[in-house]
Amino acid sequence: MPLHKVELNEVSPKVLEVFGTQNALLSAGGKDGCNTMTIGWCGLGRLWNLPACTVYVRPERYTFEFMERQEYFTVSVFDMSHKKLMGYCGSKSGRDTDKVKECGLTVRYGAGDAPFFDEAELVLVCRKMYAQDLEPSCVLDERINRFYQGEGWHRLYVGQVMEAYQR
């Protein structure tokens, strides 16, 4: 079945399973250029009475530049058969290679010309509503510190889910 637009209330992924095992590609940019990166952290739900998606990006990542410039971003969830693609997009920088081309992905565009991939099984197109840097001084559980050995702290982005596409 091809990827097609669906009503938001029809989307019901098993969030903890999807983002704990399958991972996804976070993408930002537009028709003039985009970048994508593998993510394993994502939150879905309602915030401020709106359908919301929260993603996290370190300032060192190339995708960060696109997230800062653009109003929209997408989360494209792939099935387990794309594990190699997830590994590639999580280990290569878009500064050095065209990951979309190298992986043979087909780019489509949603609201705000936000790029996503036709090969995904689920896509969320989000409009940024809020961004904030995570702060070391706010850590309440010491296990969190292991994620920040020598790299910057993530910026969190909350987006209103504007569109959804599903297979």
Q: What per-residue confidence (pLDDT) applies to 60?
A: 94
**CATH code, 30:** 2.30.110.10
- How does DSSP assign 96-107, residue by residue? TS-HHHHTT--E
Return the amino acid letter for 7: E
Q: Which amino acid is located at 39 in the chain?
A: I
Q: What is the mean pLDDT of residues 105-126?
A: 96
In this prediction, residue 151 carries a pLDDT of 80
Q: What residue numbers bound the domain in which 112 lies?
A: 4-166
Q: What was the pLDDT predicted at 21? A: 75
C-alpha triplet 57, 167, 109: angle, nearest 5°: 55
pLDDT of 159 higher than 90: yes
pLDDT at site 15: 61
DSSP assignment string, 139-157: --SGGGGGG-SSSPPPEEE
| pTM, entire model | 0.92
Give Cβ neighbours of residue 47 (< 8 Å, ≥ 6 apart). 54, 129, 158
* Residue 18 reports pLDDT greater than 90: no
Tens-digit pLDDT profile for residues 38-66: 998 899 999 999 999 999 999 999 999 99
Average pLDDT score over residue span 153-165: 97
Domain count, the chain: 1
Question: For the residues 9-24, what does the mean pLDDT come to?
Answer: 72
